[in-house]
Structure 1
Amino acid sequence: MSSDGIALCTDELSLKIINFMVKMPSLLEALEQKYGESSTDSEGSEEEEGISISIFVPQKPPRLSVPSLLVLNDCNIASAGDKQALVDKCAGVEELDLANNKLQHWPEVFCILKQMPQLKFVNLSFNQLSSPLKETKILEDVQWRNLRNLVMNSTQVPWENIQQILNHLPCLEELHLSLNEYNHVNLCSESCKCREHNGCGDNNCEASEFECRCPKVDYKKNHKHDGIKKVHFTGNPISKWSEICKIGYAFPSLEYLVVASCPIKSLDVENEDDEFEGNPNLARSESECESGEQRDSAHDSFRKLKFLNINSTNISAWDDIERLSKFPVLQCLRMQGCCLWESHEYTEHERRQLLIARLPNVEMLNGGGKIGEDEREDAERAFIRYYMDKPESDRPDRYFDLVTRHGKLDPLVNVDLRPEKRVKVTFTCGNNSEIRPVDVYRTVNDLKIKLEGFAGFSASNMRLFYVDQELRDHQGPEEMRYPHKRLYSYNIRSGDEIIIDYKIKIKREKV
């Protein structure tokens, strides 16, 4: 037996001993606990279990049928179990959820997956799968051609492992690598060998990066995973956009990318290394692209990207929004909780308008509905007016593009729609008439009290009639009946008339 075979047997034996000591079930045991044993497995067990009553059980009751969607998360599963029994039970499983278990060894994971050839979806999240994946016979000539979606969030799976796994998933379309503590991206087949010599097995160990002497990888020429269209990369501590660009180079058909909650500072890939000029040790890692060609732009590797989520990043400059506008087919953008909005300089409405005006290619913003033509035109006009009063040096290129389209706009007139506070009204009482200024925010009762001296009788005996100067010939005077109603509610304007009458006198005439 080869040394690799002996090592593998030793690992398997150690794993079985550990599982026995801590009572961690295998996948097969977890299945039997959840769905029960098959009728063939339980034959002859009545005497052992002391069961004295015999009942008829259908050959394949519903409870014993393993569903095509198999959920076994948080079951402390650490191993596969008997292979043939897994084949018999799980050959038809199409979706497998093994999140939050105790899987640590890749041979056990592949042993599970190999018995389920129909798999379309696999979730391995929150299993500690950081151990290196060595070439084993279990992966020889194995291709999971039905698998479309692989989730490995918070597994700390090394990049070298990901590369080997992807080589056996030719039809994979969606890949989840969130919360894996990645500080760089290395999705090419060439892997750094310096860690082995340095004795460091940590995929993110920075100590070995500074001493790396391996040939640099050209990400522009090493992509071969054309089927992958969606990548979720949330919550990884990567601050350089050039590292994110490597995902685009590795997956040239990428249409959907989520890099939310990553501390990305800028989309400027050409000048992002300027901050490291004073410290040559931090200038470059072994994972960075050094093809000898100048990187073209932030969107160079995202020629087919339609959806981008950069929520809760450290992007803080409008220049990065201009770079987003250059993405060739970007249609949907999510950009909330970024440092750009921490100044509170803009209202939510102004923020949306400024984004829409700068992003002519984006059709949906922050999960809202499709941006209509009217909303876009309003946003572009608001954008012109926002920058027209600023110095020319502060105006972005987009301003001049929009001026060419809409022309130079006049400033908006500041229209105050509040009622005029004081108006001049003609007051008439009998044969006496006088023009007086009136505060329209007074109530009818306040006005009556103020007119007692002019009328010559008390407010309690007073009736007021409002006459609109423009409607004088079409409708009669309107009695101001409600004492607590404010005068502006009558739309009183300068030039109108208020007639004062004596309440008792009217009553006597009626009698």
Structure 2
Amino acid sequence: MEDGCSTLVRSLEKKYLDDDDEIVQGIIFTGFTGCSPCKMASQRALELLVLNNMNIGTIGDSEKLAMLASHVSEADLGWNQISQWSDVACILKNLPHLRVLNIGHNPLNPVIDHELPVSTLHTIILNGTHLPFKTLQSFLSVLPKVTELHMSDNQFNDDDDCDKSISTSVRTIHLNRCGFLKWSSVMNVVKRFPNVCSVFVCENPLKDVTHCKQFDQLPFLEFPESSKNVH
């Protein structure tokens, strides 16, 4: 962990386990009334975890994370300093009910060097992570239920040597602010998700949208009708 960085567990405790009402007013608890925030969290009632831009560099005490956050279904950890895939694995392992995960704008290692557990996530946000296609393919292989993928604020290489399908479960992909100039560059990414049906490409300096051969390979994206699903 970099000097000065916090841990996820410590940041969770500071934000959510303080009895000051002003600090805990943003937390979502279910099934408990009349309990202190600390007691409620220890009883695994936390569902929404928002710890973005808190200089988090690692997880910390994984057992405590499992105790306090095992019922979390949505976690926003964007704009932190998480770089190790072992920390991503720890999150997936200890948050079994997780459905939405934002780890965008974290300096993730471009190579996965740790075994990742299979997760039932349905939305993964990887904005600004600049992961190579091969790394993305490896990551999504343990996320078989992901239907929505956010990859905005990334730079993609048309010459990337990974030509295989990255995910067959993804239906919606967000590619906003990726600097695309040509529609063929957009399709170079989209073609790797053969079952995608909606593509978001806002704030890209595209010169035009034209038919290209990749359209013919995508059963759910038809041209010109596809314009209804391309935003």
Q: What range describes the TM-score normalised by the shorter chain of this pair?
A: 0.7 to 0.9
Deviations 1:22-49 (A, max 9, x none): 2x21011111111228xxxxxxxxxxxx
Q: Which has the higher contact order (CA 8 A, sep 6+)?
A: 2
Deviations 1:193-232 (A, max 9, x none): xxxxxxxxxxxxxxxxxxxxxxxx4xxxx32622110000
Question: What residue number does 1:156 align with?
Answer: 130
- Give the alignment's TM-score, normalised by structure 1: 0.38
In the alignment, the residues of structure 2 paired with residue 260 and residue 84 of structure 1 have an alpha-carbon distance, to the nearest angstrom, of 41
Shift in CA distance, 263/302, structure 1 to aligned 2, threshold 3 Å: farther
1:173 counterpart letter in structure 2: T
Instruction: Report the alpha carbon displacement of residue 103 of structure 1 after superposing the two structures with TM.
Output: 1.4
1:133 and 2:95 are equivalent in the alignment: no
Shift in CA distance, 152/89, structure 1 to aligned 2, threshold 3 Å: same
Unaligned runs of 5+ in 2: 19-31
1:178 and 2:152 are equivalent in the alignment: yes
SS in 2 for 1:231: strand
1:143 and 2:118 are equivalent in the alignment: yes
In the alignment, the residues of structure 2 paired with residue 268 and residue 93 of structure 1 have an alpha-carbon distance, to the nearest angstrom, of 43
Question: What residue number does 1:68 align with?
Answer: 47
1:107 and 2:86 are equivalent in the alignment: yes
Shift in CA distance, 250/185, structure 1 to aligned 2, threshold 3 Å: farther
In the alignment, the residues of structure 1 paired with residue 36 and residue 221 of structure 2 have an alpha-carbon distance, to the nearest angstrom, of 44
Deviations 1:242-261 (A, max 9, x none): 33223333222211101222
**Could you tell me whether the CA contact under 8 Å between 1:246 and 1:301 is conserved in 2?**
no
1:304 and 2:220 are equivalent in the alignment: yes
Deviations 1:464-490 (A, max 9, x none): xxxxxxxxxxxxxxxxxxxxxxxxxxx
Deviations 1:438-480 (A, max 9, x none): xxxxxxxxxxxxxxxxxxxxxxxxxxxxxxxxxxxxxxxxxxx
Instruction: Report the alpha carbon displacement of residue 91 of structure 1 after superposing the two structures with TM.
Output: 1.0
In the alignment, the residues of structure 2 paired with residue 252 and residue 185 of structure 1 have an alpha-carbon distance, to the nearest angstrom, of 19
**Could you tell me whether the CA contact under 8 Å between 2:200 and 2:230 is conserved in 1?**
no
1:27 and 2:8 are equivalent in the alignment: yes
Q: 1:235 aligns with which of 165, 177, 188?
A: 177
1:88 counterpart letter in structure 2: M
In the alignment, the residues of structure 2 paired with residue 148 and residue 62 of structure 1 have an alpha-carbon distance, to the nearest angstrom, of 32
Instruction: Report the alpha carbon displacement of residue 267 of structure 1 after superposing the two structures with TM.
Output: 4.2
1:87 and 2:90 are equivalent in the alignment: no
**Could you tell me whether the CA contact under 8 Å between 1:177 and 1:231 is conserved in 2?**
yes
- After TM superposition, the structure 1 = structure 2 runs for residues 358-369 of structure 1, keeping only pairs within 5 Å, are none
Deviations 1:414-459 (A, max 9, x none): xxxxxxxxxxxxxxxxxxxxxxxxxxxxxxxxxxxxxxxxxxxxxx
1:170 counterpart letter in structure 2: P
Deviations 1:284-327 (A, max 9, x none): xxxxxxxxxxxx63622333138xxxxxxxxxxxxxxxxx42x4
2:113 counterpart letter in structure 1: E
**Could you tell me whether the CA contact under 8 Å between 1:241 and 1:298 is conserved in 2?**
no
**Could you tell me whether the CA contact under 8 Å between 2:110 and 2:135 is conserved in 1?**
yes
Q: Which has the higher helix share?
A: 1
In the alignment, the residues of structure 1 paired with residue 78 and residue 140 of structure 2 have an alpha-carbon distance, to the nearest angstrom, of 20
**Could you tell me whether the CA contact under 8 Å between 1:183 and 1:237 is conserved in 2?**
no
SS in 2 for 1:250: coil
- Radius of gyration: which is bigger? 1
2:176 counterpart letter in structure 1: T
Q: 1:248 aligns with which of 184, 190, 193?
A: 190
Instruction: Report the alpha carbon displacement of residue 118 of structure 1 after superposing the two structures with TM.
Output: 1.0
- Give the alignment's TM-score, normalised by structure 2: 0.80
Shift in CA distance, 127/244, structure 1 to aligned 2, threshold 3 Å: same
1:303 counterpart letter in structure 2: P
Instruction: Report the alpha carbon displacement of residue 152 of structure 1 after superposing the two structures with TM.
Output: 1.1
RMSD between aligned residues: 2.7
**Could you tell me whether the CA contact under 8 Å between 2:154 and 2:178 is conserved in 1?**
yes
Deviations 1:150-194 (A, max 9, x none): 0111222332321111111000000000111224374xxx64xxx
Question: What residue number does 1:210 align with?
Answer: none
Deviations 1:313-350 (A, max 9, x none): xxxxxxxxxxx42x4x654555xxxxxxxxxxxxxxxx
Identity of aligned residues (%): 27
In the alignment, the residues of structure 2 paired with residue 333 and residue 258 of structure 1 have an alpha-carbon distance, to the nearest angstrom, of 6
**Could you tell me whether the CA contact under 8 Å between 2:199 and 2:230 is conserved in 1?**
no
Instruction: Report the alpha carbon displacement of residue 89 of structure 1 after superposing the two structures with TM.
Output: 1.1
